[in-house]
């Protein structure tokens, strides 16, 4: 139990340190927040997780998603009815997913660390959230997986899609 509490407190310390570098420069507020977390952990304790089932599920999902599995992509109309968009490979990737860390830590002339955005490998600054999804649709002519961009109101494809 003491080991779990120590790990929890260490984790909270790391989070607090990370937040202090994210523009939250009020060190008194950070200290008070850490004190409050420590009190809560000591009074309530950690949950008695023994099977780690959700973690096992997430591991399975990651491993299954890493395989080129045949799937079907659908779009939903205004009435909630599904319409086949395309045969696809794998699962959609949210448009806001970034290939690398979207932020970087720099030290200013004042000696303080600041988090600033950095571009993706395409030298663009992608949003932290977006409604779009990339789907690897099977091109009906070439039979090769091809990225198709899908939003709630827009679908962009390099080939004609199977919709009504």
123 occurs within a structural domain: yes
60 occurs within a structural domain: no
Q: What is the pLDDT of residue 157?
A: 85
120 occurs within a structural domain: yes
Q: Which tokens hold the place of 26?
A: 């009020």
User: Average pLDDT over the chain, rounded to whole?
Assistant: 83
Within this chain, do residues 83 and 18 fall inside the same structural domain, yes or no? no
Within this chain, do residues 91 and 148 fall inside the same structural domain, yes or no? yes
52 occurs within a structural domain: no
Query: What's the alpha-carbon Rg for the chain, to the nearest Å?
Result: 23
Q: Which tokens hold the place of 54?
A: 């959700």
Residue 17 has pLDDT above 60, yes or no: no
Within this chain, do residues 12 and 82 fall inside the same structural domain, yes or no? no
117 occurs within a structural domain: yes
Residue 163 has pLDDT above 80, yes or no: no
Within this chain, do residues 103 and 146 fall inside the same structural domain, yes or no? yes
Within this chain, do residues 73 and 137 fall inside the same structural domain, yes or no? yes
Within this chain, do residues 95 and 133 fall inside the same structural domain, yes or no? yes
Q: What's the whole-number mean pLDDT along residues 75-93?
A: 91
Number of domains, the chain: 2
Within this chain, do residues 35 and 79 fall inside the same structural domain, yes or no? no
Within this chain, do residues 106 and 37 fall inside the same structural domain, yes or no? no
CA distance 103 to 125: 10
57 occurs within a structural domain: no
Within this chain, do residues 77 and 147 fall inside the same structural domain, yes or no? yes
Q: What is the pLDDT of residue 160?
A: 84
Stated pTM of the model: 0.64
The candidate with the shortest Cα–Cα distance to 96, out of 151, 21, 156, is 151
């Amino acid at each position: 139990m003491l080991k779990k509490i120590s790990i929890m407190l260490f984790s909270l310390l790391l989070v607090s340190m990370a937040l202090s570098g994210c523009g939250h420069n009020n060190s008194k507020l950070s200290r008070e927040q850490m004190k409050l977390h420590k009190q809560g952990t000591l009074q309530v304790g950690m949950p008695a997780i023994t099977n780690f089932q959700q973690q096992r599920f997430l591991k399975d999902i990651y491993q299954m998603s890493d395989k080129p599995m045949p799937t079907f992509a659908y779009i939903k109309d205004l009435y909630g009815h599904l319409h086949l968009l395309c045969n696809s490979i794998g699962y959609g990737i949210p448009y806001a997913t970034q290939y690398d860390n979207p932020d970087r830590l720099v030290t200013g002339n004042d000696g303080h660390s600041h988090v600033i955005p950095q571009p993706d490998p395409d030298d663009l600054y992608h949003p932290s959230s977006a409604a779009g999804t990339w789907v690897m649709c099977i091109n009906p002519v070439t039979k090769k997986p091809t990225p198709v961009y899908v939003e709630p109101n827009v679908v962009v494809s390099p080939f004609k899609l199977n919709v009504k």
